[in-house]
Amino acid sequence: MAHRYIKRILEARVYDVAVETPLDEARGLTERLKNRVLLKREDLQPVFSFKIRGAYNKMRQLTATERANGVIAASAGNHAQGLAMAARHLGVKATIIMPKTTPELKVNNVRRLGGKVVLHGDTFDEASAHALKLVAEKGMTYVHPFDDPDVIAGQGTVAMEILRQESGPIDAIFVPVGGGGLIAGIAAYVKYLRPETKVIGVESEDSACLAAAIKANKRVTLSQVGIFADGVAVAQIGKNTFEICRDYVDEVITITTDEICAAIKDIYDDTRSICEPAGALGVAGLKKYVEREKCEAKTLIAIDSGANVNFDRLRHIAERSELGEKREAIIAAKIPEKPGSFKKFCMALGKRNITEFNYRYSDDTLAVVFAGIQIKPNNDGKEELLEELREHLEEVVDLTDDETAKLHVRYMVGGHAPESVSNEVVYRFEFPERPGALMKFLSTLGGRWNISMFHYRNHGAAYGRVLVGMQVPEAERDQVKEFLHEIGYNFWEETNNPAYKLFLG
């Protein structure tokens, strides 16, 4: 099977529009993982994705009549951009059917490159069905994003470059998998020339169509597909791609959303570039492989397959990256509802950095707090943290792996104060975001007046931002401001703030 693709790959016409991308050492990952980690930088292509290779190679094979009739494709974005650029270079009209869930960045880029965009359906498979319907109606040539021998051969040029760029032994190559075009091309070429090198597919756990097909030993269709990693959101592996993958892919690793986010951060730390979620799968799989195998001094390559990510998605990625790297524990704890309890809670944490702290008074006996706490990578410090907290506190619950807590509850802790909360005043604070600043703040404030509400989240800014409610008798209101001036942090009273009155007061 592989030998049939070698000639196609060697003769693939991709460099009229594509570039040979570098194979860069990821120095931070190399040092941390104790293996030589190399990144194949397909995010540096003109359309910020490897897809330009397969799309252009396929376009070069079309007859004059086929080009005159125009081309059509379904794509979640990267193939669309590659095809639009290839079509513009060759003077061919291109229509792209894109899922309605496609990031706006990719839609706009396709239009900028001259492609006609039609938004249809919520997944690639729904878009693909509509594209095939238009093929039958209008006679255009369908350029498949992955399940076509010429497309596979175009993507295989990635492997051709890797083996030319790294002449020494390569222990494993980690490849993002959606429909399988990239990994099929890489596996066919690598296994023909260097059969000892492992080719490992990496899939998002909510779109793992190749893993499901290998397990069943036949192509299967997933009942639903997650779209966080939209570039690999495919419900069924391709027919041509599966024939290659079944014989030449060594294994498939599945990855969580949090692990993808952590890998995006790893790539940024080493390259100062931001890849898209699908583009980070290779690094996420590589890290999981090293942790499982406990290997050292190996040469491992991850394909950084694309950088087409909407800017507004970075907020979510940053939020989840610490969890994906297992550097943050999320816990809920019960503490006595009385002055000084916050200080006791902080003492139980020791010198650990608090990343989040949420609390709202509920009754006069026990307080329930929601907290994020920094720990050492890979859970090394979580059990120790939980053990220490349980020695000092009434009840501690580990929520680190609780999706509801991470996605929703952390933003909903609060609500209106019960009637028993009287004399509540509210202050907003800014303080220098440095180790110990929040601890000092809590320790200083915690013993004077009862804290009835508290919200803090570390956003990586220069200043920490805290919203605090305290029960202060009317006669002591002036003392509060004097006390707060002594702490030395910027503060504003928000007791009459309309948002507070509507939702929290």
The full 3-state SS of 409-441, as one line of letters, equals HHHHCCCCCCCCCCCEEEEEEEEECCCCHHHHH
Q: Are 254 and 204 in contact (CB under 8 A)?
A: yes
Beta bridge partners of 212: none
Residue 165 burial (C-beta neighbours within 10 Å; 0-12, 13-18, 19+): middle
Rounded to whole angstroms, the Cα distance separating 238 from 235 reads 10
Q: Would you call 305 a catalytic residue per the annotation?
A: yes
Query: Which of 40, 49, 51, 265 is an active site residue?
Result: 51
Q: Are 241 and 213 in contact (CB under 8 A)?
A: no
Query: Which of 128, 207, 305, 321 is an active site residue?
Result: 305
Rounded to whole angstroms, the Cα distance separating 327 from 377 reads 5
The full 3-state SS of 429-472, as one line of letters, equals EEEECCCCHHHHHHHHHCCCCEEEEEEEECCCCCEEEEEEEEEC
Rounded to whole angstroms, the Cα distance separating 4 from 189 reads 10
Sheet holding 299-304, edge to edge: 23-25, 36-41, 299-304, 172-176, 198-204, 251-255
Q: Would you call 223 a catalytic residue per the annotation?
A: no
Return the CA Rg of the chain: 27
Residues carrying an active site annotation: 51, 305
